[in-house]
Structure 1
Amino acid sequence: MKHLQPKEAWQWLQAHADDPPEQAPLFVDVRMEIESLYVGRPPGVVHIAWYDYPDLKPDPERFARQVEAEAGHKDRPILLICRSGKRTLDAGQALEAAGFTDVAHVVHGFEGELDEHFHRSTVNGWRHDGLPWEQM
């Protein structure tokens, strides 16, 4: 699995923006739907939760099936993002175990690590780096 800093991930997505859809990276937000909708998300991201309510337990096989259904094939590049870059590590490993060949994740995720006041988006992450995002 590739580990891309937020700005590297954005540059990679932009470098492939004109690729045919079946070859362009599939950008997947693995957070719970409520996080993606209300906290914000990068534009163009597809939501496929690693886990969600009410179980809050990952189902790696379900996740891999949903990503494959969206991607079309397991050789398509996949870029994963979550809140802080931790869920994407497990989700990425599940995809690789399921046979995906080109998996990357956004280090520090959308909101980044906690600062000394337990706030996010102040130290690192997609939003901290000033990259495009939208909110419901």
Structure 2
Amino acid sequence: MSGASGPPVGEVSPGEAWRILEENSSAMLIDVRTRAEWGFVGVPDLSEVGQSAVFVEWASFPNMSANPQFVAEVMEAIGDNTPNMLLFICRSGARSFRAATTIAEHFKRVEVQAQCLNVAEGFEGDLDPQGHRGGHNGWKARGLAWRQS
């Protein structure tokens, strides 16, 4: 998948994301949901693969206003050693795709080589026939490690 004018952003399933994080110690998972989502819904637990997720809001609850410092906050979280692969996750995959594209475009401008991947399905996944999230698909429904924060 790629943005219309931006650099290509790949997409992986939650299971593929877990495998990447397990096998690539340089990879990093960036959760771009809101503080409210982290607190009430839970967060990926990467301790089993010796990693920790990074938490940077793409937009803020309740009005979902864009975070004007998103790129700066991600760069600060990454630090001096840019991972070779960054995986972005949100509730269902839409915000994280925009976030991954934004960071990929930033990397292109500053000539940094790193692959940006969107975690399809996100943390909670799509709505099921009853209108609920978390049981149809997504990180939680796929049985990947998570915890309440």
TM range (shorter): 0.7 to 0.9
Structure 1 unmatched runs, 5+: none
Q: Residues 123 and 130 (structure 1 numbering): CA distance in 2 closer, same or farther, change over 3 Å? A: same
1:45 Cα deviation (Å)?
1.4
RMSD: 1.7
1:72 Cα deviation (Å)?
2.1
Structure 2 unmatched runs, 5+: 1-8, 46-51
Aligned to 2:5: none
Runs of 4+ with >3 A deviation: none
Q: Which of residues 76, 81, 86 is equivalent to 1:78?
A: 86
Is residue 2:140 matched to residue 1:127? yes
- 8 Å Cα contact 1:75/1:102 also seen in 2: no
Letter in 2 for 1:70: A
1:25 Cα deviation (Å)?
1.4
Letter in 2 for 1:39: V
Q: Which of residues 46, 66, 72 is equivalent to 1:65?
A: 72
3-state SS in 2 of match to 1:96: helix
3-state SS in 2 of match to 1:78: strand
3-state SS in 2 of match to 1:104: strand
3-state SS in 2 of match to 1:68: helix
TM-score (norm 1): 0.86
More strand by share: 2
Aligned to 2:15: 7
1:53 Cα deviation (Å)?
3.5
Aligned to 2:38: 36
TM-score (norm 2): 0.79
- Note the 1:100-111 alignment, pairs <5 A: 101-111=114-124
Q: Distance in 2 between matches of 1:4 and 1:36?
A: 21
Aligned to 1:92: 100
Deviations 1:76-121 (A, max 9, x none): 2211111111101111111112116311121000000001110112
3-state SS in 1 of match to 2:146: coil
Q: Give % identity.
A: 33
Q: Residues 118 and 10 (structure 1 numbering): CA distance in 2 closer, same or farther, change over 3 Å? A: same
